[in-house]
Amino acid sequence: MELIFWWVLPAALVMAGAAVWWGLRQYKAGNARRRPVAHGDRLTALPEYQAAVRRYRRWLLVMAVAAGLLVTACTVAAARPAERSNVRPEQHNRDIVLCLDASGSMSSADSAVVETFGRLAQEFDGERIGLTIFDSTAVQVFPLTDDYEYVAEQLKEARRAFDGESEAAGFLDGTWGGEGSSLIGDGLASCVRSFPKTDGEPGAVQHQSSQQRSRSIILATDNYLSGNPIFTLDEAGALALESGVRIYALNPGDYDFGGDPGQPGAQLRSVAEKTNGGYYVLDDPDAVAGIIHSVQATEASRFQGSPRAVVADQAEVPLAIALLSGLVLAGASWRLKP
Amino acid sequence: MTTSLVQRVKSKMSIFAHRKARGMLDGEYGSVFKGRSLDFEDLRAYVPGDEVRDIDWKATARHGSPLIRRYVAVRRQTLLLVTDTGRNMAATAADGEDKKDIAVMALGVLGYLALRHRDVVGLVAGDSTGSRSLPAKGGEAHLERLLREVDAHAGLSAPPSELRVQLEHVARNYRQRMLLFVVADEFLPDAGLEALLRRLRAQHEILWLTIRDANLGQAGEPYDVADSRVLMSHLAGSEAVSRAYGVAVAERTAARAGMFRRLGIAEVAAGSSHEVVPAIFSLLERHRHGR
């Protein structure tokens, strides 16, 4: 808390002193204008008069206090009390695609991811979120959107499907039409392509906001491939790197043993880390929420604006006091009007 | 040079003469003292206000109109003007004039009447710190001096008023019988003052003129000369206060009137200098009928 126009205070103090001095002088000189009378005790000795004077004095005191407060509060407000702080404004310009492996082994992790994002979506403001599920083929459930109501509805539906509720089973339709299952490279590539094209790429639409938006994929998979994908995981990772997409991989079934880089978990880790993303081993679906929060925080801190000094006037309290004392003053002077 | 105070008194009296014969005032004054002398001098025409018992009925019967016996070697009487020249007298009277001006007018009127009767006029004036007395003499110049004495000393810087000091001074220092003319204001009488006045009343003839004080119920924020405190007259405008004030003032007036009645002292009140001459007329009238 500091005062921007601190010199207002001494100036006001000097002026208040001058006003008091002048008022006292006027009061002392006042008897020259007044009528001298004798036997004032004819009036002053009356108990009724004394009661009236006491009442008058009381109101006068109220008025004096209110006036003093009003002047003080106004002076303080005029001196502009302000809070100076450094702020790194958080930018809500993230694009997140949920890329979920819909194979049966993944359903509990998928369910946790979907549920967490269902909750997160309620607090989103400007972020866009998309959902792509894949098994042997990838299905884009919904593209990047900021229609959070629709997102929440779809995520709820997805969750029911992953939880195995029969009437929601249609949700996963179209994910196993191709050859093989868990074609992770293809799924990831689909997800990467669901981001709008950047300026460097052919066919990119000049879009003002897409340039500065952060892109991330939450990829939930165990990376157990069966079949022949068109894109290998590494190729899909290269595609992501090219498009400036960070991959955060969640692996519920990392059964890697030893340091062999060819194992599924190690492959996933290397792809994710190449894109500056992260790799998380999921031992328990309940940990998804915490992981996603930390991912969110990382993303948020990466895309914060430069720190700015913000000076915020905090005149509310003095002005509120001034308003109150002004009201009291008005009431008291109305009460005292001769 | 300001106009002489006596001149002012005389002009006020001449205005009064247009309405009532000035001789009446003389007659009223002349009959303040009973049995002035038995040495008959001559007769003169009756003027209203003369004592009826002075009429020479035989001569009147012969003459056809009332005639009054005049006596030679009328003993010179002494009129002693007693007034307060404390701070109270610099205050405002009921009609807005300075009380001092009304006092000077009243003292001047009676003093002038006395001079016309070839009586001598003295003065005792002062405040709570003490009294000054000026010896009784005749002549307008002397009367002027007395009036100036009063006029000069009664100011806002004067000490507080205390009429008792002047009355005690009179009681202590004057042995002969005199006519006392006391000009005071709306003081609150007490037993001590009443006893003192009873003592004076036994020795002297006393005439009393009360100068009515300013009404404190009016707006205008007056201040009390006693302590320079501002009176909040606007508060007196409220119903409760103004009712209480009316009652208190009536009680105060009644207390004074009661005291004067018990003592047999004739008293009148005047609120402005215009009221002074009629007030003195009725004062003399009342004094004559008072016993």
Q: What's the confidence (pLDDT) of residue A179?
A: 72
User: Which residue among A31, A39, A52 sits closest to B238, beta carbon to beta carbon?
Assistant: A52
Pair of tokens at residue A181: 């299952």
Q: What's the confidence (pLDDT) of residue A210?
A: 44
> Which residues of chain A neighbour B229 with C-beta distances below 8 Å?
40, 44
Q: Which of residues 153-182 of B touch A (CB under 8 A)?
A: 156, 161
| CB contact A64 to B (< 8 Å) | no
C-alpha span between A162 and A90 (Å, rounded): 33
Higher pLDDT, A271 or A255: A271
- Choose the weakest-confidence range: A11-25, B43-57, B157-171, B195-209: B43-57
Distance from CA of A331 to the nearest CA of B (A): 18
Distance from CA of A40 to the nearest CA of B (A): 5
Beta pairing class for B205-211 and B179-185: parallel
C-alpha span between A123 and A111 (Å, rounded): 19
Q: What is the DSSP string of B45-76?
A: E--TTS-GGGB-HHHHHHHSS-EEEEESSPPP
User: Which residue among B188, B216, B225 sits closest to A43, beta carbon to beta carbon?
Assistant: B216
| CB contact B189 to A (< 8 Å) | no
| CB contact B290 to A (< 8 Å) | no
Distance from CA of A22 to the nearest CA of B (A): 19
C-alpha span between A25 and A32 (Å, rounded): 12
Q: Where are the domains of chain A?
A: 2-86+310-336, 94-302
C-alpha span between A55 and A208 (Å, rounded): 70
E-state strands within A10-60: 36-37
Pair of tokens at residue A132: 């792509």
Give the rounded distance of the alpha carbon of A110 from its chain centre.
26
Q: What's the confidence (pLDDT) of residue B291?
A: 45
Q: Which residues pair with B179 in a beta bridge?
A: B79, B205
Does A47 sit within 8 Å of B224, measured CB to CB? no
Does B156 sit within 8 Å of A37, measured CB to CB? no
C-alpha span between A338 and A41 (Å, rounded): 22
The reply to whether ipTM tops 0.90 is: no
B-interface mutation test, from A28, A35, A333, most B Cβ less than 10 A away: A35
Does B252 sit within 8 Å of A40, measured CB to CB? no
- Choose the weakest-confidence range: A231-245, A255-269, B157-171: A255-269
Counting other chains too, the contacts that A3-8 makes at CB distance below 8 Å and 24 or more residues apart are A3/A76, A3/A79, A3/A80, A3/A81, A3/A82, A4/A79, A4/A80, A4/A81, A4/A82, A4/A311, A5/A78, A5/A79, A5/A80, A6/A79, A8/A75, A8/A78, A8/A79
Higher pLDDT, B228 or B133: B133
User: Which residue among B92, B216, B248 sits closest to A36, beta carbon to beta carbon?
Assistant: B92
| CB contact B78 to A (< 8 Å) | no
Does A338 sit within 8 Å of B234, measured CB to CB? yes
User: Are B42 and B71 a contacting pair, CB within 8 Å?
Assistant: no
Does B240 sit within 8 Å of A56, measured CB to CB? no
pLDDT over threshold 60, residue B19: no
Minimal-distance CA residue of chain A relative to B213? A38
Other CB atoms closer than 10 Å to residue A328's CB: what's the count?
Answer: 17
Distance from CA of B102 to the nearest CA of A (A): 14
| CB contact A28 to B (< 8 Å) | no
Torsion-angle region of A182 (φ positive above 0: left; ψ -120 to 50: alpha; else: beta): left
List all residues 6 or more positions away from A101 whose beta carbon is below 8 Å from its beta carbon.
A110, A133, A134, A135, A182, A184, A187, A219, A220, A221, A222
C-alpha span between B140 and A90 (Å, rounded): 105
Q: In what order do the strands lie in the sheet with B266-270?
A: B130-137, B120-127, B78-84, B179-185, B205-211, B266-270
Q: In what order do the strands lie in the sheet with A2-3?
A: A2-3, A81-87, A308-313
Q: What's the confidence (pLDDT) of residue B182?
A: 95
Mean pLDDT of chain A: 82
| CB contact A259 to B (< 8 Å) | no
Q: Which CATH class name applies to B78-289?
A: alpha beta
Q: What's the confidence (pLDDT) of residue B141?
A: 92
Give the rounded distance of the alpha carbon of A42 from its chain centre.
74
List all residues 6 or more positions away from B28 whose beta carbon is below 8 Å from its beta carbon.
B49, B281, B284, B285, B288
C-alpha span between A105 and A184 (Å, rounded): 14
Residue type, A321: I
Sign of CA dihedral B23, B28, B33, B34: positive
Q: Which of residues 214-233 of B touch A (CB under 8 A)?
A: 214, 216-217, 219-233
User: Are A115 and A329 a contacting pair, CB within 8 Å?
Assistant: no
Task: Name the most confidently modeled range: A111-115, A211-215, B251-255.
Answer: B251-255
Distance from CA of B176 to the nearest CA of A (A): 34
Does A46 sit within 8 Å of B213, measured CB to CB? no
Q: How confident is the model at residue B56 (pLDDT cuts 50, 70, 90)?
A: confident
C-alpha span between B225 and B208 (Å, rounded): 23
Distance from CA of B222 to the nearest CA of A (A): 5
Q: Which residues pair with A131 in a beta bridge?
A: A98, A142
Other CB atoms closer than 10 Å to residue A179's CB: what's the count?
Answer: 12
Overall average pLDDT of the A124-141 stretch = 84
User: Are A222 and A252 a contacting pair, CB within 8 Å?
Assistant: yes
User: Are A198 and A146 a contacting pair, CB within 8 Å?
Assistant: no
Higher pLDDT, A59 or B18: A59
pLDDT over threshold 80, residue A6: yes
Task: Name the most confidently modeled range: A160-169, A310-319, B22-31.
Answer: A310-319
pLDDT over threshold 80, residue B24: no
- Sole residue written with tokens 């220092």: B173
User: Which residue among B88, B216, B221 sits closest to A42, beta carbon to beta carbon?
Assistant: B216
List all residues 6 or more positions away from B7 whose beta carbon is below 8 Å from its beta carbon.
none
Other CB atoms closer than 10 Å to residue A100's CB: what's the count?
Answer: 29
Beta pairing class for A246-251 and A2-3: unpaired
pLDDT digits (tens, 9 = 90+) for B197-242: 999 998 888 999 999 998 887 767 788 888 878 887 777 778 888 8
What is the fold of A94-302? Answer: Rossmann fold (3.40.50)
| CB contact A338 to B (< 8 Å) | yes
Q: What is the DSSP string of A293-321?
A: HHHHHHHHHHTBPPPEEEEEE--HHHHHH
Q: What's the confidence (pLDDT) of residue B100?
A: 92
Higher pLDDT, B238 or A286: B238
- Sole residue written with tokens 């590539």: A189
Of B28, B24, B31, B134, which Cα lies nearest the Cα of B74? B31
**CATH 3.40.50.410 occupies which residues in chain B?**
78-289
